[in-house]
Structure 1
């Protein structure tokens, strides 16, 4: 099965941890005081029978986060916990002043577990807001839908300014008007409805600007934002449609309306196997990944060596080819194709240890890759080594350094 940044199991598994106070976000601001002082403060304010919660996903997945919320140059420590008696999540803000950490305020969450956490200025007031997603237990699993709360931190006070049920969210200034947009997706657990709604902070509240219906028959979705053309931002949504299949849509926002680039009900940009969209060529524009079945494998679904093809939206209703590559996850390597779209097919042995990339134009050998056990490396005569691990040696018979540089270990 192909690797993909979102896995359906994420929606059903949850984890929490005990009071592992020594963990913190090293990527943020380094505290001016020893971490032990923060730990002691946390221990003094958090009930002894409570569990410190770590977010399941996202950038902030540690026991606490150190960050300057209000821009006053002083750090706040933000953490979440739940006690054994009361499963509802509680938040706590500690502030550092003159080397001492004191509790500013506790506040209530909206669920049993902390699912995700962000610090983004969605109120557009120049100060960071706390955006927390809370999940709900359902026997041993999680409900698909969660509770999203936006907290504003103002003059040492936490205020909940927005609360909604959601499945996924995207935060970005999609129309680049200088105001951050909050887009939520709500997929009904019975798969009878799927709504996208976009909000702006207007007149001291999160105001819904527009909403639209999407295909409810999906199993899960991974929406994320970025440039979808050189000058246009959008939300790219990789939708899980079957056990191994996906399709990809794009949503746009002009400041007033959400718009779907493709007809979501028609499963646009369908993929027979897992392949997520990404900026494959690092040009700042998101490409839609669509696996291609090479010539000769049309009926061999279980053993098909799919070629990963990536396309950019052309700004209208079509896609433009960008790049292809072959990923062999079993043996841990990738080969980037320098050749034109769909001019390559694959020949292989049964276990895919020997791969030949063949031109569909004239049948010539373009490149080959051999995966050889370390114990058999005496049989490398006539081959050119590309790379090696503790287990395998990767070789080719094609003496072309430019092509050899397109080989990469995963």
Structure 2
């Protein structure tokens, strides 16, 4: 066996020597080279080379914070001709003061040409960037928020493919949102300016911010606007009127204010002489069924519900929509029930209740069954049995309605549960 190894080694040495004498290198690729990103397309390599050449030596690329991920450049069809231009933002430190600049490159066949290189404003970073079409839909303009010394300022950038690009300073803000509040198919701008007083500033059109309205919000010293608080426009009530939801924290409780346009004028909506709803159903509002009406979520344990020994009782999340009535905080009379859902994280499923069930169910969780019992009749409306996949055996008595990664979900084949089974969704 040893002799065979000697002969094999001789052949290996002869083979490697032959390669060496023939001028072939014997160096293998470094492992890191195997992890390199695949080659970029030619247009992107050309663009990055051009951006690198046109950037000043001390430039630092800055990306808008409201973008999903940071990028070297933004691809935007500025002249709406079907071909995107590249917009790059960077900052320069001049004697301790930062200045935000931009480059605009236009694609010319296989090459990129620098069209605009211009400063915008003093600032360290970009808070927001929004792309808005002009009224004639012929150009895309930019609305940009720049942060400098903890202060945000919003600017409108127009005619970005011209050397005479216009930069218009609009206002300072703590929060900014852009949406079509008055539903005229043009984007409006709303700013929140915290302080004494705290103000809500409305510009009827974001690109031509000349019509300006200001209302003072009833804030107190110590009221907190945290990063997770709401400042957004949505369709609010059953009448489907758009409004602005503003939330803040006071005395460790969330407060929600609603502002709507009435006859082209901002007005804060009062709830029976109260200016805000306190802890609206305990959680932030959201459009659960995506029909344009905002629901408010409220978690509770139905009366009489039973969990397994030493386990928490089952809980239901109910979603209510404000119906436009004046209501006191915490009273459900001003809300219409849209949906309830029972979430079972142990068995990875969600049971959605139709609105007309109207909180009538008691939940009983026992062994591997979850029962929904009608409080009015005492009868079981729906019973779901959860069986591990490796233990499931098909039978005529059990009707399989779902099959997940780990479990099979079955109901009694003799019961007319189809109406309810349709409301079971897996979360695996």
Same fold (TM over 0.5): yes
Q: Give the paired residue count.
A: 362
Which of 1 and 2 has greater Rg?
2
Give the CA deviation at 1:260: 2.2
> Is the Cα contact below 8 Å between 2:383 and 2:411 reproduced in 1?
yes
Partner Cα separation in structure 2 for residue 89 and residue 394 of structure 1: 58
Structure 1 residue aligned with 2:419: 402
Q: 1:94 aligns with which of 99, 105, 123?
A: 105
> Is the Cα contact below 8 Å between 2:296 and 2:321 reproduced in 1?
no
> Is the Cα contact below 8 Å between 2:374 and 2:381 reproduced in 1?
yes
Give the CA deviation at 1:182: 0.8
Structure 1 residue aligned with 2:268: 260
The change in CA–CA distance for 1:155 and 1:83 in structure 2 (over 3 A counts) is: closer
Structure 2 residue aligned with 1:81: 90
Q: Which moved more, 1:236-245 or 1:166-175?
A: 236-245
Q: Map Cα deviations across residues 64-110 of structure 1 (whole Å, 9 max, x no partner).
A: 22222233555321222345786544333222345432331233355
Partner Cα separation in structure 2 for residue 357 and residue 89 of structure 1: 60
Q: From the two aligned structures, give the one with the greater helix fraction.
A: 2
Structure 1 residue aligned with 2:131: 119
1:307 paired with 2:316, answer: yes
1:344 paired with 2:344, answer: no
Pairing 1:4-403 to 2, within 5 Å after superposition: 34-47=43-56, 50-58=59-67, 62-72=71-81, 74-82=83-91, 87-103=98-114, 104-109=116-121, 111-121=123-133, 124=135, 126=137, 127-135=139-147, 146-153=152-159, 156=162, 157-188=164-195, 193-201=197-205, 205-215=209-219, 217-220=223-226, 221-228=229-236, 232-237=240-245, 239=247, 241=249, 246-254=254-262, 256-263=264-271, 267-268=276-277, 270-271=279-280, 273-278=282-287, 280-283=288-291, 285-296=292-303, 306-317=315-326, 318-328=334-344, 332-338=348-354, 339-348=356-365, 355-368=370-383, 377-378=390-391, 384=400, 386-389=402-405, 392-393=406-407, 395-397=409-411, 399=413, 400-403=417-420
> Is the Cα contact below 8 Å between 1:197 and 1:211 reproduced in 2?
yes
Q: Map Cα deviations across residues 174-224 of structure 1 (whole Å, 9 max, x no partner).
A: 222354321112334xxx553221013599653313434154624432233
Q: Map Cα deviations across residues 251-288 of structure 1 (whole Å, 9 max, x no partner).
A: 2113531122235965416345434311x3343x2222
Query: Which structure ranks higher in relative contact order (CA pairs < 8 Å, sequence separation ≥ 6)?
Result: 1
TM-score (norm 1): 0.71
Root-mean-square deviation (CA, aligned residues, Å) is: 4.2
Partner Cα separation in structure 2 for residue 260 and residue 69 of structure 1: 37
Give the CA deviation at 1:173: 2.5
Give the CA deviation at 1:113: 2.6
Gaps of 5+ in 1: 1-20, 25-30, 138-142
The change in CA–CA distance for 1:158 and 1:330 in structure 2 (over 3 A counts) is: farther
TM-score (norm 2): 0.68
Partner Cα separation in structure 1 for residue 339 and residue 252 of structure 2: 22
> Is the Cα contact below 8 Å between 1:297 and 1:304 reproduced in 2?
no
Partner Cα separation in structure 1 for residue 230 and residue 201 of structure 2: 15
> Is the Cα contact below 8 Å between 1:151 and 1:159 reproduced in 2?
yes
